[in-house]
Amino acid sequence: MQSAQQLINGLMLGGILAFVAVAFTLTIGMLNFLNFTIPALFMLAAMVTWALSASGEHIFALGLPWYAAAAIGIAVAMVASLIIERFTYRYLKAHYGDATEHALPLVSSLGFLIIFEHAVITLWGSDPQRLELPFRDMDLHFAGLIVGIPHLFSLGLAITLVWVLSWLLKRSSIGRALRAIAENPDAATLMGVEVARIVPVVFLVTGMLSALAGILYGFSYSTVTPYIGDAVATDAITGMVLGGLGNVWGAIVGGLLVGLIKVFAISQFGAEIEKIPVWGLLLLILIIRPTGIFGKSRLGRGKF
């Protein structure tokens, strides 16, 4: 019974990691860009949702209903993601040629991560804050097991969104244009694809996914801090690598696996060493199968 509960807990945590892993894998697969601002957007959306919905003395304490606060949190993260696109990916590409081949956008995205974290700390301090939904009982009970509703909702939403995303990538004109950019940006231009106008779409989608994940994380664990992005980033990156870079369904499976490994490791060996199995697994995968479980032969490009 105990391990059944842990299986559920692992899958629930994994559902949120899967969201973030999908955001990572989209920018890697499309743009060959490891975007470290994803955890910052995750945290930003959760903190904005808390600040707007809570009442108190802090800035922007508007006491908005949770859904309005969450909608604004998502919008803020999407706008921030567009700003990031403008000043990491696009600026560096325009000034230094194919910057995706270099570490420049990665390093500048790390810079954004730290700036966002500290901007949030300056605004609202670094204390953990309570973020709760107004419903009374947030858990489903059956056969002695407990399933959190926000957890369940985030897992379902992650799978639905990835299903919609992969359908759009396969069937729609903009999806084909995105895959063309992922495979060969120069040839995509020759098809009449305005690459500079399509790339921000990737950032809007990753901003939305990261924000949804952050808010669902906050509601699931009832707590947000300016540091939740850091914690989730490494787990989600491990999930992405497990599933194969650029593979959206792989990212879902990878995220779920990492969630399970974390929960079982903590229950078996205690919370102190939870990072070791996750990072150990990441290193092991990189050594024995760097394309991940579902990745194809080439790393990082054109996997849809």
Sequence letter at residue 13: L
Q: Which of 142, 173, 270, 287 binds other proteins (CB under 8 A)?
A: 173
Kindly list the distances between the CA atom of residue 109 and the CA atoms of 1, 81, 122, in Å, as whole numbers in the listed order: 43, 10, 20
Do 210 and 45 touch, CB atoms closer than 8 A? yes
The yes or no reply on residue 178 touching other proteins (CB under 8 A) is no
The yes or no reply on residue 191 touching other proteins (CB under 8 A) is yes
Closer to other proteins by CB, 132 or 183: give it. 183
Rounded distance between C-alpha atoms, residue 179 and residue 221, angstroms: 36
* Options 76-84, 140-148, 187-195, 199-207: segment touching other proteins (CB under 8 A): 187-195
Rounded distance between C-alpha atoms, residue 217 and residue 224, angstroms: 8
Q: Which of 192, 270, 272, 288 binds other proteins (CB under 8 A)?
A: 192
* Minimum CB–partner distance for residue 85 and other proteins (Å): 18
Q: Which of 56, 141, 144, 190 binds other proteins (CB under 8 A)?
A: 190
Looking only at residues 201 through 240 of this chain, which bind other proteins when binding is defined by CB under 8 A?
none
Helix axes 149-171, 173-183, angle to 10 degrees: 80
- String marking each residue 123-162 x if it binds other proteins according to CB under 8 A: ----------------------------------------
Helix (H) or strand (E) holding 184: none
Closer to other proteins by CB, 29 or 214: give it. 29
Closer to other proteins by CB, 176 or 275: give it. 176
In DSSP terms, which residues pair with 223 in a beta bridge?
130
3-state secondary structure of 274: coil
* Minimum CB–partner distance for residue 98 and other proteins (Å): 13
* Options 4-12, 87-95, 109-117, 184-192: segment touching other proteins (CB under 8 A): 184-192
* Minimum CB–partner distance for residue 296 and other proteins (Å): 9
Q: Minimal CA–CA distance to 24: which of 270, 284, 258, 261?
A: 258
The yes or no reply on residue 189 touching other proteins (CB under 8 A) is yes
The yes or no reply on residue 299 touching other proteins (CB under 8 A) is no
CB count within 10 Å of CB 30 equals 27
* Options 60-68, 112-120, 143-151, 193-201: segment touching other proteins (CB under 8 A): 193-201
Do 29 and 251 touch, CB atoms closer than 8 A? no
Q: Which two tokens stand for residue 185?
A: 């940006």
3-state secondary structure of 153: helix
Rounded distance between C-alpha atoms, residue 168 and residue 201, angstroms: 13
Rounded distance between C-alpha atoms, residue 175 and residue 95, angstroms: 27
Closer to other proteins by CB, 101 or 194: give it. 194
Q: Which of 5, 166, 184, 223 binds other proteins (CB under 8 A)?
A: 184
- Contact positions toward other proteins, by CB under 8 A? 173, 176-177, 179-180, 183-184, 186-195, 302
